[in-house]
């Protein structure tokens, strides 16, 4: 497993913060009908179980929003990716279909309610730290313009920051030529068992992405 830690300042701001990590060799391709059906079925469950007005009060999301406020970031402007995904589902907009690994990542996020991000191991460099974005720091988001990541929790290596619970950078995005990934689940609440969703992610990667040599670790 690639070397990952959480910086002291972030732990002080959110003592319950944890990062669930899955490292795996995968085959990136279009999602199978079976995976798309599983995602569609769970979207129906979400529509039955959650009202959009309740979304910000789910413990996984509320804890993340509280941390953003503490760091000086407006959580309604810089939404957790899980909150943004679920909002799309509840608004009837549906999810973007990208590839099997990204779609698996999104299904983990929908089910756990935690933000999740998947990264190309080839384009990130150990050691990695989950830290706080510096003042004036930006990166090019996936399908977006520059994202202001100052005061956001960010994954950073020797080159710079490449991921956050809100939006990831283009540098480590999952494309068709990727064969090894790091999938991270960002947890801000100790009320939910992150280990369960790491095992769920392992199962999905094995079933739908030819996942091999899978390692799982929780960083606290």
**Mean pLDDT value across residues 171-196:** 93
Q: What is the DSSP string of 160-208?
A: -EEE-SS--BSTT---TT--EEEEEEEE--TTS-HHHHHHHHHHHHHHH
pTM for the model stands at: 0.95
Please give the pLDDT value at position 189: 86
Domain count, the chain: 1
pLDDT tens string 50-80: 999 999 999 999 999 999 999 999 998 999 9
For 73, residues 6+ apart whose C-beta sits below 8 A from its C-beta are 151, 152
Distance CA 6, CA 17 (A): 9
pLDDT tens string 188-219: 988 778 999 999 999 999 999 999 999 999 99
Please give the pLDDT value at position 24: 98
Rounded to 5 degrees, φ, ψ at 115 are -65, 145
Q: End-to-end CA distance of the chain: give it in Å, rounded.
A: 15
Please give the pLDDT value at position 190: 82
**Encoding tokens for residue 143?**
């399908």
Mean pLDDT of the residues in the chain? 95
Helix (H) or strand (E) run with residue 129 in it: strand 128-132
Distance CA 188, CA 64 (A): 6
Helix (H) or strand (E) run with residue 63 in it: helix 59-71
pLDDT tens string 105-128: 999 999 999 999 999 999 999 999
Distance CA 212, CA 202 (A): 9
pLDDT at 94 over 90: no
**Mean pLDDT value across residues 156-171:** 95
Distance CA 61, CA 90 (A): 15
- The CATH number linked to 87 is 3.50.40.10
pLDDT tens string 132-154: 999 999 998 888 778 999 999 99
Domain range enclosing 160: 4-219
Please give the pLDDT value at position 30: 97
CB 153 within 8 A of CB 73: no
């Amino acid at each position: 497993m690639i070397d990952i830690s959480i910086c002291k300042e972030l732990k002080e701001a959110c003592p319950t913060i944890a990062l669930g990590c899955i490292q795996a060799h995968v085959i990136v391709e279009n999602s199978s009908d079976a995976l798309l059906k599983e995602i569609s079925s769970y979207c129906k469950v979400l529509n039955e179980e959650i009202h959009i007005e309740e979304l910000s009060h789910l413990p996984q999301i509320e804890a993340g929003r509280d941390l953003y406020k503490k760091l000086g970031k407006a959580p309604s402007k810089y939404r957790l990716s899980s909150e943004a995904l679920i909002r799309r589902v509840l608004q009837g907009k549906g999810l973007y279909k990208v590839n099997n690994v990204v779609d698996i990542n999104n299904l983990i996020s929908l089910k756990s309610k935690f933000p999740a991000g998947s990264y190309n191991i080839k384009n990130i460099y150990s050691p990695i730290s989950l830290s706080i974005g510096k003042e004036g720091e930006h990166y090019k988001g996936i399908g977006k313009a520059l994202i202001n990541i100052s005061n956001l929790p960010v994954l950073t290596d020797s080159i710079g920051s490449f991921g956050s619970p809100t939006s990831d950078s283009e540098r480590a995005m999952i494309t068709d030529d990727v064969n090894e990934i790091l999938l991270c689940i960002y947890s801000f609440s100790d009320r939910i068992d992150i280990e369960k969703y790491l095992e769920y992610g392992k199962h999905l990667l094995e079933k739908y992405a030819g996942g091999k040599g899978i390692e799982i670790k929780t960083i606290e």
